[in-house]
Amino acid sequence: MACSSLDDPRITLAGLLFEVHDGLTTRLGAKRSPTIEVLIRLARSPDRSLRMSDLAAQVTMSASGLSRAIDRLVATGSIERLACDYDRRVVHARLTDQGLAEIEAMLPEHLRVLEESFSVLTPTERDRFEATLRKLRGQVNPEAVQASDPGPVRATAP
C-alpha cells in the first residue's frame, strides 16, 4: 500500500519545477555555460558588479565551481576582482567592457531559446509566473537577493 503522503501536491509542484529547470538547462545546452550565467548576473547588476557571496547565491554553481569560473573570466579579461574599501573580507566581481561585449554577442541565441521555451505563456501568465518565482525565491533562497548598497569597491592587484 502506497503512502498517502506521496500524493501530496507539494511534491508535485517541486517535481514540476525541477522538470522545468532541467528542460530549460537541456534546451540552452552549452549556451547556458557557467560563463553566460555569471556574465548575465553581472551585466544586470548595478555598476556591473556583485559581491562574490551574492553572485554565488544567485548562480547555480558550487563555491568551487564559481571560483574556477571567476578565475577563467579574470584570466580572459571578461571580469575583474575588486576589493571592498570598507571590509577587506569582501571581494566583488565586476564585468569589464570586454565581458559586456561577450555577453551581448551571446544574447541573441540565448534569448531565442528562452522565447521558444516561454512562448506557451501569455504576457499576463509570464508576469504572474515571474512574480510567483520571485516570491518562492525569497522564501527558499533569500541570499540570492542582492544587498541594496554593495558599498565602494576598488580594483585589486592582479
Go through the domains of the chain in sequence order and give each one's CATH number. 29-155 (1.10.10.10)
Give the confidence band of 146 by pLDDT, cuts at 50, 70, 90: very low
pLDDT of residue 150: 41
- The DSSP bridge pattern shows strands 49-51 and 91-95 to be antiparallel
Q: What is the mean pLDDT of residues 99-127?
A: 94
What is the C-alpha to C-alpha distance for residues 64 and 76, in angstroms, rounded to an integer?
19
pLDDT tens per residue across span 10-55? 999 999 999 998 898 888 875 557 688 899 999 999 999 998 888 9
pLDDT of residue 155: 45
What is the C-alpha to C-alpha distance for residues 46 and 15, in angstroms, rounded to an integer?
34
Q: Measure the CA dihedral 120/123/126/131, to 10°.
A: -170
Most confident stretch, 47-61, 113-127, 133-147: 113-127
Cα–Cα distances (Å) from 63 to 5, 7, 24, 139, 147, in that order, read 34, 35, 22, 21, 19
Q: How far apart are the first and last CA of the chain?
A: 63
- Cβ atoms < 10 Å from Cβ of 96: 17
Q: Above 50 in pLDDT, residue 149?
A: no
Amino acid at 51: R
